[in-house]
Amino acid sequence: MEAILNTSFDWSGRRAPYIVATENDCLNGASMLFGYLLTNTAQIFADVRTYWSPESVKRVAGHTLEGAAAGGILHLINSGPATLDGTGQQTRNGRPVIKPFWEITEDETRKCLAATTWHPSITEYFPGGGWSTRFLTRGGMPVTMCRLNLVKGLGPALQIAEGVTVDLPEKVHETLDQRTNPTWPTTWFAPNITGHGAFRDVYTVMNNWGANHGAISHGHIGADLISLAAMLRIPVYMHNVPVERIFRPSAWAAFGTQCLESSDYRACANFGALYA
């Protein structure tokens, strides 16, 4: 049910996706809604489940990670609500994308369905008879993962990680996938690393992530999310968006120009929530 609702089509044809979060995670649902409102595209709900270092992949699967994945990868995987658009079977100029529903072709909907299998429950999960979808997101797709967290004494705060989806050899994927749950959809994600702060390396990204869930949107929309957060007076405490792409109201400069993350906190606290 969750997967179909989050997808840009169903048995009646193409339509706007319904934004649905699983496990009563309204904060990740709000994160998905942010991405949807900024892009008009379906959103992937996933666990930020496992960090695979280059050394671990080599030891377990005998494979050397290369390219965008050279520093390690994150296994994004969850049982139910990942949109079938997340298969990456929609394309633009030959590259995998997630499109607004009105741009999706009938052939692309068939390809998304063909790339998805449907599985009964396993012993560890859904013993009552629940079902899950399984697919593998195509690599080479720019994506942005975000997460809205609610912190006692602070309120809402937003995290953002831009990166790219990754292709692995089939045997390597199967070996790593068996370590979690092979009946769930997988997205292999390599965040863009800056070499400092929370983006010093891939492990540090996961170590600083505030929850086990993330909302994944097509495209690098981190700058848009930062501007939206400023409008809503929500501080952003972790991102890898280049400073030249960031836009906040000019009044933010009054709260400090050297450390923009700290000034964001002060400005948001001073101006107060736009919606209380």
Q: What are residue 196's phi and psi, to 5 degrees? A: -150, 165
Is 47 known to be catalytic?
yes
* Residue (of 119, 177, 143) closest to 43 by Cα position: 143
For residue 11, which amino acid is it? W
Task: Choose the catalytic residue: 2, 25, 47, 177.
Answer: 47
Is 224 known to be catalytic?
no
* Residue (of 191, 159, 228, 185) closest to 7 by Cα position: 185
What is the rounded distance in angstroms from the CA atom of residue 130 to the CA atom of residue 2?
12
Residue 143: beta bridge partners? 163, 218
Task: Choose the catalytic residue: 23, 103, 201, 261.
Answer: 23
First to last CA, the chain: 32
Residue 97 and residue 174 in contact, taking contact as beta carbons nearer than 8 Å: no
Residue 190: beta bridge partners? 164
Distances in whole angstroms, Cα of residue 167 to Cα of each of 1, 52, 268: 27, 14, 39
- Residue 17 CA, chain-centre distance (Å), reads 16
- Enumerate the active-site residues: 23, 47
